[in-house]
Structure 1
Amino acid sequence: MMATLPTAYFFVLTASLALGYCAGTSVPKSTEVPSQPKAESDAADSDSESEEEEGVDVSGLTTVEDCKLVLAVRTDLGMSSGKIAAQCSHATLACYKTLLSKNPALLARWARTGYLKSVVRCTDEDHLLLLQAQAQSLNLCARSIQDAGRTQIAAGSTTVLGIAGPTALVEGLTGELASL
């Protein structure tokens, strides 16, 4: 039986809220982040984050306004609500880890404003990649997720893009996209 759209939204919202709460209760007091290399077994057993964003510098992005995370989900892949929730969780963590290492002040601001986030529809991979390039040109944190291919989606398929930063910039880029 196929899940209905409200059920998918419920799962995504619940997973995002739980993740946001857990992440928010452990915001570091220091900006120093120990480096932890990823074990080879971890890389083989999990979905991967796009490495293209590693060179993007979000460290200089500062704000006194609210911050937000938008999760753009590809709707052309036919993912189940559970798969969408898992992929959105991966993207949320990827953005969190990037901000933790490259802009802890922005991360702390996002935490103080309640880890505001929303989930929107993205029509296909080309649309997602265009959004990613636009976000990077604005120095926003933009992390895409590629599926490991063990369940519903072909290995390497880009499923979700997380875009984090000042609300006005993020909404200016994603405000026209329909909510999921």
Structure 2
Amino acid sequence: MSMSIFKKAMNHFSSHFSAYFAVAAASLATGYYLGQILPSASKKEQVQNILKQCKQKVESEIGTDFKDDDEEELDSDDESYEIESLTLNDVPGEVRMALVIRQDLGMQKGKTAAQCAHAALACFRMIACDPNRKSFNPTMVQRWLRCGQAKITLKCRDERAMDELYAMAIALGVNACVIHDAGRTQIAAGSATVLGLGPAPKAVLDQITGELKLY
């Protein structure tokens, strides 16, 4: 009975992720069935064995370890320069975060989204999480949160253009972080992918990114 469920699920789904979830469902159904007929001492072991066998079968048939390419993004590194941005608290208006994406790398959308997430989190950690850091600025963080955590994605030509933007940010007192990819998917290791800026007043960010086009 369990094998017919397994075969039906595998035939129904074409992609490896769908196959994985189908196998998991079949395994749970089998585990429930065994739970009704086996002595309690052996239930857990039997279910674990079936789950293991099903996963091994799928791996052998579709040749995957079920890891998505962008899971490798967890190994991305960042280059940040901590500065004191307290003087920017006197600048009125909306507070934003800017994420500047290199265009010459040809990153796919999923890759770009993952890199932007790294940059946003790195900027937030710099300014909001550790009172001992020079970049800590809770006032600016609260202004940003009240503005709906505004973020804008922009694009720049290449690494040289990104370096210039990075230098401008530091000169204006805006915390900045450059994300470097680990190089396990799509692009070379160490490539600078996204520049994160802020959170900082929009009026100040516009002096850095005002000429950039939206991503």
TM-score (norm 2): 0.60
- Which of 60, 76, 79 is matched with 1:50 structurally? 79
Q: Distance in 2 between matches of 1:108 and 1:136?
A: 21
Is the CA contact (8 Å cut-off) linking 1:68 and 1:115 kept in structure 2? Answer: yes
Listed one character per residue, the Cα deviations across residues 129-166 of structure 1 (whole Å, up to 9, x for unaligned) are 10000001001011110001111111111000011111
Q: What is the aligned partner in structure 2 of residue 174 from structure 1?
A: 209
Matched, 1:86 2:121: no
Secondary structure of the 1:150 match is coil
**TM-superposed deviation, 1:49:** 1.0
Q: Distance in 2 between matches of 1:169 and 1:60?
A: 11
Matched, 1:115 2:149: yes
**TM-superposed deviation, 1:104:** 1.3
Listed one character per residue, the Cα deviations across residues 6-30 of structure 1 (whole Å, up to 9, x for unaligned) are xxxxxxxxxxxxxxxxxxxxxxxxx
Larger Rg over CA atoms? 2
For 1:118-157, list aligned pairs within 5 A: 118-157=152-191
Q: Distance in 1 between matches of 2:109 and 2:160?
A: 22
| Number of matched pairs | 134
Listed one character per residue, the Cα deviations across residues 156-177 of structure 1 (whole Å, up to 9, x for unaligned) are 1100001111110002211110
Q: Distance in 2 between matches of 1:64 and 1:123?
A: 31
Aligned alpha-carbon RMSD (Å): 1.3
TM-score (norm 1): 0.71
Q: Distance in 2 between matches of 1:162 and 1:171?
A: 14
**Which amino acid counterpart does residue 205 of structure 2 have in structure 1?**
V
Q: Which runs of 5+ in 2 are unaligned?
A: 1-73, 131-135
